[in-house]
Structures are given as C-alpha cells and as structure tokens.
Structure 1
Amino acid sequence: MRARLILEDGTECVGTAFGKVKETYGEVVFNTGLTGYQEVLSDPSYCGQIVTMTYPLIGNYGINRDDFEAVRPYIHGFVVREHCDEPSNWRNTSTLDELLKAYDIPGIAGVDTRMLTRKIRYHGTMRGLITTSDAPLSELLDSLRSTPLMTDQVARVSTKSVFSCPGTGHRVVLVDFGAKHGILRELTKRQCDVVVVPYNVTAEEIRRLQPDGILLSNGPGDPKDVPQAIRMISEILGEYPIFGICLGHQLFALASGADTMKMKFGHRGGNHPVKEVATGRTYITSQNHSYAVKEESIAGTGLTITHTALNDGTVEGLSCPEKRAFSVQYHPEAAPGPYDSGYLFDRFIEMMENAKEESSHAKTR
C-alpha cells in the first residue's frame, strides 16, 4: 500500500506502508545505528517521535524476546529505506512488521533516508506526518502545522506505581522518567536492591524509602516539561549520592541552577565520541537526546564539566563532588551500542559505599 511522509516544510516522501496502517504525527528524527533497531523501537525516550534509520536495511534479523528496552514501544512512526519481511536469525521470533502491527505503529519503507537525514541535519528536526491518505498535500500540511508537539511524554512512559527488583546490595531508588531496561540490568547485575518510582515522586516519599543512592533515568522530551522533578531533585541534592543519565542529567543540571537548550537535530546512535576531561580519554557512546545543558549556564552552580562531545563540543557529563552527584548525557548501559562506559555504574556503587562509610564514622565519633 502506498504511504506518504510529509514534513512541515512541505517535503513529501512517497513509499510503501508496513506495520499498522494509520495516520500518525510526530517529530521526525534520525538514528545512525547500524544495528539495534529493536532497542531503538522500544526505547521510551522516542515517545512522540517518528524515527528514521540511516542504515538502509532494517528488519533483517527480526524481533526477539530479549532485546526490548521497555514493555512496549512508544515511538509514533518508523521510516526505513528497505524493510526486510523475511528475517533470518536464530533468536528471531517475529518480524518487524508484526511488532509494529501489534503496537499500532505505522511504518514507511522505500524512502530516500539519506536525503531525509541530510535535510534534518541542515534544517533541524521538524514535525512530520505518515499517512496512506490520497488527500492533497496542502490539506495534509494544514493538519500537520496545526498539530502541536507533545509535552507530556514523561507522564505517558513512566511507571504509574512503585515496584521493586529485590537485591542484597545497596538500595537504589530509580526515578523512572522513561527508564530503559538496560539501566535495571546494570543495577541488578551489581546486586542492587532497586526500587522504581514514578516521575512525580516527592522528596519526602524518596526519604521514606531510605535509599543508599538515587538514579535519575533517561526519558523523552524537554526537561523543563517536568518541573516537579526539578523541584524534587533540588530538595534532595546533597542528602544521597545521585547519578543522572540523559534526561536525568539535564534535570540534575536544572536543579543545580544551570540551563538547557534544544539542539538542532540532537544525538541519536551508538557511535558518538565523548572525551573525558580529566583523563583526555575518548569513549564511543550510545546516545538519544534532543536537549543539552548550556555550557555558559554552568558558571556559579558548583557543577564541573566532566565530559564533552567531540563532534560538536556540547556538555556530556557533570559532577558536583560536594553533593556526591554526577551525571552523563549519554547511555552507559548502551543497549544498543558499545559498553565502554559501564564503569560509571561501578563509580556510582563506590560513591554509595563511601557515603555509608562516612556516615558510619560520623556516628561513632
């Protein structure tokens, strides 16, 4: 069936529909990963977006039960050059087409994704529409331009109730702004006793859980759309060790008095080079974000820049040793992507251990 991708600047791409046949709106972005389309589809940080894959062949190894990063996908649409409907892999249990149909997500294949990516890089991300309608372009553009982008993505993807993943180690409160399963895997692998809480948890509710540390997860959208989380973080800063990832990094910065900005086209993929300021070492990282911390806003906040992006110089890591808090803009749990930065979870564990020792020494004085 014929499908159309319409951008708000009037660009029209014609292709073939797959997945669910329906009309959808969203912000059109691109991901440069060569593999990992299942993890991309199920990453809650893509809620409200139409994702374009730059790698030309998608679906060739199918879908399996183990590589989901959430219980369901939240993206609004999927754009590929070539869609493979006969996958081959020993772990394959279903096709990409079947997954999209099951979760009501439309896809479009046969699109010149190279052209589309270059357009987004040059003009920036923009609203888009996937449709099988034969309506005139002018009519579809009017509908698209009058449809605002979502601002409640975090509320949509966050857990609605508290739940735990019991362990024998440090108790970590994971604030779920759209957390990937990979973060839970890394914490449970280190025997952490994880309590997952909703995005709108209060500081007092966290205190009642008596955590050893707090992890602020990744998530979709503009961090300024979650003001209650900024207030909560500002209230507990300094009370517990804190580790922020992606959206959690931005919220940590805002709670510390810094500012954020929307990027032209963001960072999405598993091949982004990041420099660690202290050592000069470069890490290849997995990333997915539209917003970044403004470097000029950090002065006077007590924050220190620990990592920078080598491609565009944006802030990729922050630290506030006095308050036992640090954060990174990228995804140390990868999924998909390189596992070079898994050591950051060990650093978080070490920070909680040191905090416990200091507390114990203070009590025995």
Structure 2
Amino acid sequence: MITFDDDDLDDFFNEDEQERDDDDNLVTYIHESILPNFEEESTSDDTILEVIFDGTDDEDKPFDFQEKTLEYIRENLASILNTIYEFAYKEREPLEELYGSSDNDMYGGFPLLSSPKEVREYISFDTILIDDEDIDGFTTFGFTGSCDWDHEHGLGIKMYKNKILNFGGWDDGRYAFHGDIENPKLSMIEKYMIGTPITHILDTLSYESVSKTEEKGLLDLFDFLVGHRAIYGLRSTNLNLSDTDKIKLLQNIKSLSLRNKGIKKIPKNFSLLKNIERLDFSFNKISKIPTAMNKLKKLVSLDISFNKFKEIPEVVFELDTLEYLDFSKNKIKKIPKGIGNLKTLVYLTVGDNKIKKFPKSLFQIKTLEQLYATDNSFSETAQKSIEKKFEHISVCYL
C-alpha cells in the first residue's frame, strides 16, 4: 500500500505503474503522518485513507480541480471532521428516532452523546472519493466508512469544501450529489421522512381534560418515557413543560419506541395513550402485558420481539385494530385460538419460538398477507399443511 510523505502528486502519477480501483480510476492514499492533528481526531491508531479520483479511467493523472480539492482536504481535514461531528450531534434526535438508542452495546443503535467530539468514537472512514465535476476550480467529495449505528449500510458523507451536502449510508458518500449545493436539504427529518418531533408542534395539539387519577397516571408515564429516552423531541432537549403540556403531549402521541431499554415490566399506565398507533417493546426482558392495554383502540402495530414471553397474552387478541404483530424470538410454544379475533391482521411474525402447530382460527383471518414463522418446532407434516392452507397469502416463511 502506498503512502505519501510529501505533497507532490505529480511525482506519483508520472510513475510507470499507477494504482487504480475496480473501475480503473486513479487511486492514491493519505496517511495520518502528513496530516497535522489527524491522529488526535481519529479513532484509528494507523489511519490510511484511500483516495479515488472519479472519472479518471482514461487519464494519466487527476484533473487539476481534483488535485486542488485533495489539497484542500489535506490542509483542512481537522476542520472537516469537526463539521461532521457537529452535524451528527445536532441531528442526534432524528438519528436516534431512526436507528434507536444505544443504551448498551448488545443491539446497536445511535449512541448517547454529550458533545460533538464524542461522535468520533463511533465512526471510521476508509475512503475519500473525489468527484469529476469542476465547480469553480474545486469539486465535491465523499467520505465512506463505517458507523456503530448502521452496520449494514455503513456511513457516507458528501461534502463541498467544509459544507455537508448529504449524510447517510455508504451510497450517500460514494455517488454524485444531485441537489442544490448552496441549499442542501440536510435534516434527517426531511431525508428519511421520520416526522416532526411532537414537542415541535405542541402548540397545535388539542387537549382533553382528565380525571385526577388519569392525570397522575399520565404524569407518571411521562416521567417513565422521558427517563427511557422514548419521546422524540425530549431525548436531548429539556423543555420546561407544564403538567397540562405533558398530558397534552401524551394524548396526541401516535408512535413510541422503547426498543432495547432493559424494561422488565410494562407500566399499566400505557393504557392511557388513547391515540397511540405504534408501540415497539422489542429487545427487552418483558414477559407480561397489562390487561388494561386492551383500551388501546387505535393500536395498529405492536412489536414485542426479543423478549421473554412463554405465551401470547390474551389481552393482545382484544386489540382488534392490530395490523402488524411481532412476537418473534421469545419462548412461545402455542398460539392461542384467540388470535382469530384479530380480523385486521396483515403481518404476523412469530419466528424463533417453540411453536408446533397453529390454531384453525389463524387460517380464517382473511386480511393476513405475510407470515414469518421460521425456526419453530413444526413437524414436516404440519409444515406442509400450513403451507397449503396459506397458499393464498403473498409471503409464508416456515
């Protein structure tokens, strides 16, 4: 692997043998030894960045604007990295909404940050791609690498000088940017259509008066949710909310993720969330669901996967608006016949359990379109019977 000890690109690219990538573009490398303060900003003990000059498959050397861009990167890398850290820190609320939070290292998620510089502990870069469009003597460039919150898609960041144009997976750093360089739409809320934090629209929300008992229950639930970083808009920002505002917020909230929070017991006060549509309790230590939760008459999605259930509680079958139900990766041996009460169920996943057969009532749910039930205890005969009875649905994995 080649490393630079000086700034002389011409000497490298005039050699008879030149390094090229799989697309035949010219390649060089940057080593931390020639980058002032880079080792301090990097998480790697021996950082080497591959630099790819896009569009140079028929060229003997990079274009002048590409060389100028590389020189700018080398001279300003510490500042560029700080811009990336500050952006990720600023967008930590929507990024945590998108990827979940990293309360522990077992299941990933976006890290809990107290300062921009902490971001560097969770990312690493291995490539800089310098684009082939001349923009006032410079060009755009992209970093690609990895991050702790998205191992599948990696990390990619497209930039022009010290300005971030795109932030996301590996592709966002690798491929050309087609937006407005002067006014890029950078917010993760816009990019991934995550939705606006409910705290940002609090003034527009309606309020319904409650009894003293319900008021206390809602305020206790509010503290529980804030303590578990579950309210989008209140994970990183402390707002001085009145009791009325807290109750109004919970009365209007439609989606909550308590994924990977170490929860052993669901508070019965969840039954007070009259407008909740989606609940995610995955990756916890839960074995029961309060019977009072049958009051959630608008709930369409319940994810209770990766917990400690030995059976599906009967209260679930009273949630007759459910369309999505995930009880995968538990210790369930039997599906009760009450599942047939879920007349609107579209998606059911019960994989990684100990189920031997399904009740007849499951086959009578006419709305069911997708069933995931791999890694259970079906006999070969039972599996064939199930597959035959579910020939009409679009997805059936056993």
TM-based fold match above 0.5:
no
Greater share of residues in strand: 1
TM-score for both structures, normalised by structure 2: 0.25
- What TM-score, normalized by structure 1, do the two folds share? 0.27
Structure showing greater Rg: 2
The structure showing larger relative contact order (alpha-carbon pairs under 8 Å, at least 6 residues apart) is 1
